[in-house]
Structure 1
């Protein structure tokens, strides 16, 4: 039975229960369970499918520092802004040729994709574009609690990165080993970032309503990543005007 306060509102979950509910969402709804990722890790993707994923996922990667800048702008505490700023540096680097975006471009090159092709936003699948825009707008419009809670998909990221490295090395040896640097770097970064974000969410979400919002935000982010892979799995849409014969 759910306990309630005198005013009729549900009592907040304890810290441990709240944490377990967040971790359960990340474990049960994370995109490592998506059929496309499963096929990737089992070595079943064709070179064309893998390149399509790399190219479209880059559209998400290049917007990570954008969403983090939107989150940072919501913080009143200078110390918190300085800490969150590290996430932007992790992806943009502190100088040309550094950072996660650069490492993803090198992954593309290792897979046979040119930088200009990766940067060409007109090539991005419509479903990928909608998923990314939805996430960026979520971080722009929602309170800091919701936006930070959505980032908790990183709780599951280190395990996925380890699985992905092993899969690429075993099944896709035609991709140069240096191209896997992004995955290797994100093991440590994802673990660190997720624990910091989890501490913030636990400290901010003091009421049941706030806790439920945090769980819903994390669920939304899992849906974003799942929808992105749905679009990649379906592949390129038909050309305009190409009807059934």
Structure 2
């Protein structure tokens, strides 16, 4: 193995996204193109909430491991972005409003009622990875933010064009997220570049990003299996009202 330059490492990380980011998944392609049923959109929003709600817990566990006050301050902003500075603010609140606009009761969403078992396992695996793996890998796993801003633009444009049961207001989670993600990736990428000082470190960073892509892909696999054509919805999972 050869030590990559910072530029070559970034290229390698971007190549992971080009191959493995979940915007390539058939479910997402259908979602963005307007080919999902209302039930599939509902199931996507509900299951994605379980992931969104876990992000501050994941980030709090990472902050607890940081010795650098400056990096802790940078990472703390992620908690504010998702939890808000007060009740009724933040990304999680906006995602709850999306779920409510799709017909879910807020309390049921918060309780993860109807969330797929595979979603729970995938989210738990991500939280465990960030808590247990070396700090360099934990930070690197967040670098899917390299790929999300453009995907968000495609998702919002596609959903607004194709689904009359969503609106710009119900999709407001995505309004601020591209800017936040671009900001967040700067500090994470700076940390990774500074601390991945051996070829083995760099390979671990790439593997961590691949793992995170696998988490997101697995969640969509589960949605496609449960709610796609001929889907098999497991016991206890959300089912559309007849």
Instruction: Tell whether the structures are fold-level matches, with TM greater than 0.5.
Output: yes
Q: Residue 177 of structure 1: CA displacement?
A: 2.3
Match of 1:149 in 2: 140
Structure with max Cα Rg: 1
Inter-partner Cα distance in structure 2 for 1:71 and 1:27: 27
Match of 1:66 in 2: 57
Inter-partner Cα distance in structure 2 for 1:194 and 1:104: 21
Deviations 1:193-221 (A, max 9, x none): 11221111111101001000000000000
**Is structure 2 residue 197 aligned with structure 1 residue 206?**
yes
Cα pair 2:140 2:205 within 8 Å, conserved: yes
SS of corresponding position for 2:34: coil
Q: State which of 54, 58, 77 in structure 1 corresponds to 2:68.
A: 77
Q: Residue 85 of structure 1: CA displacement?
A: 0.3
TM alignment of 1:156-171, pairs within 5 A: 156-171=147-162
Cα pair 1:41 1:167 within 8 Å, conserved: yes
Q: State which of 192, 204, 214 in structure 1 corresponds to 2:183.
A: 192
Extract unaligned runs of 5+ from structure 1. 1-9, 240-245
Extract unaligned runs of 5+ from structure 2. 227-232, 237-242
TM alignment of 1:1-245, pairs within 5 A: 10-235=1-226, 236-238=233-235
Inter-partner Cα distance in structure 2 for 1:177 and 1:188: 17
Cα pair 2:96 2:109 within 8 Å, conserved: yes
Q: Residue 172 of structure 1: CA displacement?
A: 0.9
Q: Residue 134 of structure 1: CA displacement?
A: 0.3
Q: Residue 27 of structure 1: CA displacement?
A: 2.3
Cα pair 1:111 1:176 within 8 Å, conserved: no
Deviations 1:127-148 (A, max 9, x none): 1011000000000101211011
Match of 1:4 in 2: none
Task: Pick which of 115-124 and 63-72 moved more.
Answer: 115-124
Inter-partner Cα distance in structure 2 for 1:168 and 1:216: 32
Cα pair 1:26 1:152 within 8 Å, conserved: no
Root mean square deviation, CA, Å? 1.2
Deviations 1:110-131 (A, max 9, x none): 2222212211224211110110
Inter-partner Cα distance in structure 2 for 1:32 and 1:11: 30
Inter-CA distance 122–111: structure 2 relative to 1 (3 Å threshold): closer
